[in-house]
């Protein structure tokens, strides 16, 4: 397990008994979103417009990303970005036109857009991205 402290300037690891600060664990600035990719056994962080991966010793810069929230899809064993992976769609929308969030799949070293069905509300208002996360199914 890892913990980021002081706006990403420190990375700490838990070994089951104690926390220890990792020497190569400094990120360049504040982390905007972070998840753990269970399939690849890597922590993934967004810092500004850059994706970073924790390899167990240091943070490695990989793909560029314009922003959004990271989530992990355990059913399909993939890391997703809800938002924008790049700045390519910064055009102005027409009144009533949908502004649905984009979904991107992390396929190191890049983000690949996932095609999903989108739609506007019946009033034609823009849909706004919501905060995202993962809740495992309840065990009954």
Nearest residue to 44 via CA among 137, 63, 36, 76: 36
State the average pLDDT over residues 39-49: 89
Q: How many CB atoms lie within 10 A of CB 41?
A: 10
Answer whether residue 25 shows pLDDT above 80. no
The CB-side HSE value for 9 (13 A sphere, CA atoms) comes to 2
Whole-number pLDDT of residue 140: 58
Quickly list DSSP for 18-71.
-EEEETB---SS-EEEEEEETTTTEEEEEETTEEEEE-SSBEEEEEE--EEEEE
d(CA 125, CA 60): 40
Question: Is the pLDDT higher at 16 or at 132?
Answer: 16
Over residues 1-21, the pLDDT tens digits come to 778 877 677 888 888 999 988
> What percentage of residues in the chain have a pLDDT greater than 70?
68
Domain ranges of the chain: 2-89+98-113
């Amino acid at each position: 397990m890892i913990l980021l402290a002081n706006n990403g300037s420190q990375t700490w690891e838990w070994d089951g008994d104690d926390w220890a600060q990792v020497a190569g664990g400094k990120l360049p600035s504040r982390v905007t979103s972070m998840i753990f990719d269970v399939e690849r056994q890597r922590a993934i962080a967004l810092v500004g417009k850059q994706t970073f991966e924790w390899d167990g010793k240091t943070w490695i810069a990989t793909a560029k990303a314009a922003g959004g929230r990271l989530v992990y899809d355990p059913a399909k064993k993939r890391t997703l970005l809800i938002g924008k992976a790049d700045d390519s769609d910064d055009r102005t929308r027409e009144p009533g036109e949908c502004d649905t969030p984009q979904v991107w799949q992390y396929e190191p070293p890049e983000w690949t857009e996932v095609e999903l069905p989108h739609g506007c509300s019946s009033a034609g208002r823009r849909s706004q991205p919501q905060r995202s996360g993962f809740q495992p199914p309840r065990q009954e």
